[in-house]
A and B are shown apart, each in its own frame.
Chain A
């Protein structure tokens, strides 16, 4: 198998286009939105996005962001958000430490 002759295929995110997803960035932010597009470097276009801020003192805050392009080298996880599980969450009562930033 000689992989050097194959084109670099992008991340397999085609199945997630137009779905609501959660992105965890390298600085530990949680951003929820609808994927409109992506490329081989995992840069992502996110529509209707909002950031979920977790804290140990108050419930989850949601900050509306709108249409965003998130650069690929800043993305750590792209998760497919399950609508039923998401609506079952009680965000005002959720207390958690914010995620740690990525340390290489």
Chain B
């Protein structure tokens, strides 16, 4: 299953509930916080729960890197361990790299394990965020 990260997903408003723990609680009105930066928390929380799983990151330069998700940060920069490029004959450029840091702005897709996605949970969370904004 692919989640496409377009530039639209970075423009947002801060929301007060955290993704997994608070999902069934009543959603509170998001504050219009325009200070230091506006953060999208939903996917950040989602990826933090996915740490340790095997994912394939497809970049905007068509390179696809498979590896174990080590960490993610607020910009959705991704650190992968045990990496290998999906098509190693076509892209031998990263043959000697086993751990890498991928800048969030350059990710096109993050391909997830099918059992890593709780579709109902994500559906509710995004619906709530859309409504609350």
Q: How many pairs of A and B residues are in contact by the CB < 8 Å rule?
A: 115
B interface footprint on A65-104 (CB within 8 Å = 1, 0 otherwise): 0000000110111111110011011000010110111111
Task: With CB as the reference atom, state the residue of chain B lying closest to A38.
Answer: B101
A80, B41: Cβ atoms under 8 Å? Answer: no
Q: How many residues of B contact A (CB 8 A)?
A: 41
A interface footprint on B94-120 (CB within 8 Å = 1, 0 otherwise): 111111111101100000000000000
Residues of B within 8 A of A81 (CB): 96-97
Task: With CB as the reference atom, state the residue of chain B lying closest to A4.
Answer: B14
For B79, B91, B105, the residue with the greatest tally of chain A CB atoms inside 10 Å of its CB is B105
Within 8 Å by CB of B79, from A12, A86, A96, A101, lies A12
CB of B77 within 8 A of chain A?
yes
For B45, B62, B65, B101, the residue with the greatest tally of chain A CB atoms inside 10 Å of its CB is B101
Residues of B at the A interface (CB closer than 8 Å) are 7, 14, 16, 18, 21, 33, 35-37, 39, 41, 44-45, 59-63, 65, 71, 73-74, 77, 79, 83, 90-103, 105-106
